[in-house]
C-alpha cells in the first residue's frame, strides 16, 4: 500500500530535513484538495504528523485535525506528540483510523503494551526510528532523533510480540527527507525475521524502483512524503508500480 505523508506545522504542510526544525521546507498546497485527489486516484490511507504537538504537547493542532477528519474523504493515521491514553482516545474519537506512537513506546513500553491490548493492534502504529551503524546494529532513536538509545530494533519488536503487534512504521533516520533511496537491507532483514508484522517503510523513497524493491521484500506499506510533494514521482505511477510489483 502506498501511504502519502504530510507533516504539519501551524496548519501548513512542511518537510524537515533529518528531523531538524531549523531545516524546514514549506509547501503552499491545499491539503483538502490533495486528500480529495488522492482518494479519487485510489489511495486508502494518509499519514499525518503533528510536528507542533511532537515538539510541545500543549500546542497540538487538534482543531485542525478535527476539521480534516470531518471532511470524511479518506482514512488517516495520525502521529506527533501522542504520549497518553487521553491522546489516543481523543484522536480515535475524532475519527482517526490509527494513531502513531513514537518515543513513548521506548520510554514507557509496559504502558504502551497495555494500550495495544486495550485498543487492538489495528488502531496503533509503533513508529520506530533507527540509527544503523557500520556493524549493522539497529539502535532506536527517540525525542525527535535527539537521543540514540542502547535499545535495538529487534529487542523492541520482540518485547511487543505477545500483544499481536501488527503495524510498525520503521524509519532509517539517515535516509529521511534525503531522496537518497531506502535502506533495503534493513527492511529485508526485519520482514524476514518478523513476518507477522506489517511494516511501513519510510525514509529516502524517491523512485519507482524503490517501490518495487520494497514490495518484493515483503514491506506492506510505503510512506512517501517529499518525493510526492516535489513531483519526483506521481501518485498514479506509484500506485501502479505497487500493484504491478
Instruction: Indicate the burial class of 147 (C-beta count within 10 angstroms; 0-12, 13-18, 19 or more).
Output: exposed
Would you state the pLDDT for residue 145? 66
50, 52, 129, 210: the catalytic one is 129
Domain that holds residue 93: 2-244
Give the chain's domain count: 1
Would you state the pLDDT for residue 62? 87
- Name the least confident of 48-57, 116-125, 144-153: 144-153
52 given a catalytic annotation: no
CB 26 within 8 A of CB 12: yes
**For residue 66, what is the domain's CATH number?**
3.20.20.70
Q: Interior CA angle at 30 toward 25 and 34, to 5°? A: 100
| Average pLDDT, integer, range 232-242 | 94
Q: What is the pLDDT of residues 16-26, one digit of tens each?
A: 876 777 888 99
- Rounded CA gap, 100 and 169, in Å? 8
| Average pLDDT, integer, range 44-67 | 88
pTM (2 d.p.): 0.92
150 given a catalytic annotation: no
177 band by pLDDT with thresholds 50, 70 and 90: low
Q: What is the pLDDT of residues 202-218, one digit of tens each?
A: 988 889 999 999 999 99
Helix (H, G, I), strand (E, B) or coil at 234: coil
Amino acid at each position: 500500500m502506498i501511504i502519502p505523508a504530510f507533516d504539519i506545522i501551524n496548519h501548513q504542510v512542511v518537510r524537515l530535513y533529518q528531523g531538524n526544525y531549523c531545516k524546514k521546507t514549506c509547501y503552499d498546497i491545499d491539503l483538502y484538495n490533495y486528500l480529495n485527489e488522492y482518494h479519487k486516484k485510489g489511495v486508502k490511507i494518509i499519514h499525518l504528523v503533528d510536528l507542533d504537538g511532537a515538539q510541545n504537547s500543549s500546542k497540538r493542532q487538534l482543531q485542525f485535525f478535527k476539521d480534516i477528519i470531518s471532511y470524511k474523504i479518506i482514512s488517516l493515521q495520525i502521529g506527533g506528540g501522542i504520549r497518553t491514553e487521553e491522546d489516543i482516545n481523543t484522536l480515535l474519537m475524532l475519527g482517526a483510523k490509527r494513531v502513531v506512537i513514537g518515543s513513548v513506546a521506548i520510554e514507557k513500553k509496559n504502558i504502551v503494551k497495555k494500550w495495544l491490548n486495550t485498543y487492538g493492534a489495528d488502531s496503533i502504529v509503533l513508529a520506530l526510528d533507527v540509527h544503523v551503524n557500520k556493524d549493522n546494529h539497529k539502535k532506536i532513536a527517540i525525542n525527535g532523533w535527539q537521543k540514540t538509545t542502547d535499545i535495538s530494533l529487534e529487542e523492541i519488536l520482540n518485547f511487543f510480540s505477545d500483544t499481536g503487534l501488527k503495524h510498525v512504521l520503521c524509519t532509517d533516520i539517515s535516509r529521511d527527507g534525503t531522496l537518497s533511496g531506502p535502506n533495503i537491507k534493513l527492511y529485508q532483514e526485519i520482514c524476514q525475521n518478523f513476518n507477522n508484522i506489517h511494516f511501513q517503510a519510510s525514509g529516502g523513497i524517491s523512485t519507482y524502483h524503490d517501490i518495487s524493491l520494497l514490495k518484493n521484500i515483503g514491506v506492506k506499506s510505503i510512506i512517501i512524503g517529499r518525493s510526492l510533494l516535489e513531483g519526483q514521482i506521481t501518485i498514479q505511477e506509484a500506485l501502479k508500480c505497487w500493484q504491478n510489483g
